[in-house]
Structure formats: structure tokens, C-alpha cells
Amino acid sequence: MDNILLQAPGHSSGQVSLAVAIIIVIAAVIVGHLRRQIEQGDLLQPSLFILLVLCSVILYFVVSLMNPGYVEDNEDEKDSANGQQKAAGSPQGPNVRLRRCGYCMVKQPLRAKHCQSCHHCVRRYDHHCPWIENCIGERNHPLFVLYLGVQLAVLLWALQVAWSGLNFQPFSWTWLQSNLVLLLSFLLIIVCTVVVTLLLASHLYLVSCNTTTWEFMSRHRISYLKHCKVENPFDQGVFLNLWRFFCACRLVAWEKLYPPEESDLV
């Protein structure tokens, strides 16, 4: 269990407060609508919405507290390679020359990167998310994408309720005073919905290509990509990429997929 949930990397109280504030705003927008449904005897939609909100909150804290895939500083290179080969279930691949991290001095598996914020090397590093104050890596990346999906469902639901609750009339100060809170909440939900939609779409695209945000943005600076003759040496097709990402509950030895002729350039 301690391989999954590790010490929390010092969460910003401001970011947590902002997350709680957004949840409160969404709840305030939709609570009146749900109360009317409960009074009418409709318990399915209120129960489903509460379940979605609880799932969103739980996923937020799980992803933020979870070990994203830190490279252990006491791993022996040979034992680590053998363990990864057994976990991946693949035959012996090319002898990839791995680099040693200049900060924590550990042997970095392929696609790992040192995070300056977490002070750890992270396997299949995607990015450091300031929203959850944790790295997104090989272990928690699938849950992060799932969190974005659940969060988008909650936002779209709240957006629909807020839109239906606005009583559109010719503008007047009386109308503005009676609808100000709902209008501001509606605008806030729109902004959050656009941000989450763009994040979810970009991550699904990158996952389908079996690449990461770091690799996509910094290909020209990454040694195992800028010298590689193949555009993406890890791409195995959309279906296999998605299956490996969401369904393979184990660390992957990415060295086995790297072209043998490029192994000395890593």
C-alpha cells in the first residue's frame, strides 16, 4: 500500500480552498433544483449527482496523494531491469544505455524525468499539476484522466441546471440583483467547463498516441526522441495504446519498445 499512497508533497492550502469553493458554488447552484426533484419524488437524479460529486472529490485526493511512480533510489539497475521485463511479459529487448539523474543520482528508466517541485524522478513523467500539487506519472495518470472525465460530467450537469434557472427578461437592476449570484455561478462554471474539456481532450489525444505532455512539448530536448528516426517509438496503435494505459495495472519496461539501432543515444 505504501507503494501507492506516499507522503503528500505539501499541498497548497490556497489551491485546496479554491477547489472546495468551486464545489460549494456548484452545489449552491444545483441544490435548489435537486430539492424540487426530491419534493416531487424523483430520487434518481439527486442521488446520481451526489455520487458524481463524491467520486470527483475522492479521485481528486487519491490522485493528489498517490505515488505517481517515483524511481526508487535504492534500486539496483540489473534487478530493476529484470523486474520490469518480467512485469511487461516481453522478451529481452535492446540494451538501452540509461542516464543517471543529475539531481537525485538514480538510474532513470526510459521516459522518466526529475521533477523540480517533487524532488523525485517520476516514471513516464507527464507533467507536474499545480492544481493537485503532485506529479502526473505512470501510476496515477489513468486516474487523473478519469478524474477529469467525472469532473466534466459534474460541470456539464451544473451548467444545464444554471442555464435553466436563469429567468431571462429585459435587463434591469431588479433583474440583475435577483439573478446576480446565479449569473456569476453560470459564468464560473463555463470557464471551468472549457478548461476541463480542453485538458481531457488533450490528454486523451496524447494517450491514444502513447506520448506524454512533456514528450509532446519538449521532443527537441529529449535525447531518446530527438535522435530517434521513428516519430514515436512507443506508439503501438490507438487500441493497444489505450488498453495499455487504462487496463495494464503494472509498470511497463519502455526500453523493450525502443528501436535497437537507437539504444546508444539514450
Task: Write out the catalytic residue numbers.
Answer: 129
In whole angstroms, what is the distance from residue 135 CA to residue 34 CA? 36
- Cβ–Cβ < 8 Å for 137, 245: no
State CA 64 to chain mean position distance: 10
- Cβ–Cβ < 8 Å for 233, 265: no
Helix axes 13-39, 44-65, angle to 10 degrees: 170
DSSP line for 203-225:
HHHHHHTT--HHHHH-GGG-HHH
In whole angstroms, what is the distance from residue 7 CA to residue 46 CA? 35
> Which residue has cell 530517434?
228
